[in-house]
Amino acid sequence: MSLSQSMTSEHPSEEADRSPVPKIILLEKGADGLGFSIVGGYGSPHGDLPIYVKTVFSKGAAAVDGRLKRGDQILAVNDESLEGVTHEEAVAILKRQKGNVTLTVLS
């Protein structure tokens, strides 16, 4: 291993040291719904996982807004934490929302 290779592996860039900062996405739930599906949850077949966006549909609030992406982690919905919830609980939380919906997301 060269000296430059060892230096880069021992000194990661500053960006790697920063924790991701959650972003707030405000969606207006209309006739086409929020427009995304989720995967994950506590007790999922793949283990206890956070809630992630599986698909952003072509119709719905998420597509119109354009910021929510496949793979984004949803931390909270209208300040209701999704930490430790089952998949079914997360779906129920999302479905019962009306009007303006605030998502706290990690990309």
Asked if residue 90 has pLDDT above 90, the reply is yes
When divided into structural domains, the chain yields a total of 1
Residue 4 inside a domain? The answer is no
Residue 6 inside a domain? The answer is no
* pLDDT tens digits, one per residue of 15-65: 556 788 999 999 999 999 999 999 999 988 888 999 999 999 999 999 999
Q: Can you tell me the distance from the alpha carbon of 6 to that of 84, in angstroms, rounded to the nearest whole number?
A: 39
HEC letters along the chain: CCHHHHHHHHCCCHHHHCCCCCEEEEEEEECCECCEEEEEEEEECCEEEEEEEEEECCCCHHHHHCCCCCCCEEEEECCEECCCCCHHHHHHHHHCCCEEEEEEEEC
CATH of the domain at 69: 2.30.42.10
Asked if residue 12 has pLDDT above 70, the reply is no
Residue 1 inside a domain? The answer is no
Residue 7 inside a domain? The answer is no
User: Could you tell me the residue range of the domain that residue 82 belongs to?
Assistant: 19-106
Predicted local distance difference test score (pLDDT) of residue 20: 82
Residue 10 inside a domain? The answer is no
Asked if residue 89 has pLDDT above 90, the reply is yes
> 4 or 79: which carries more pLDDT confidence?
79
Q: Look up the pTM and report it.
A: 0.79
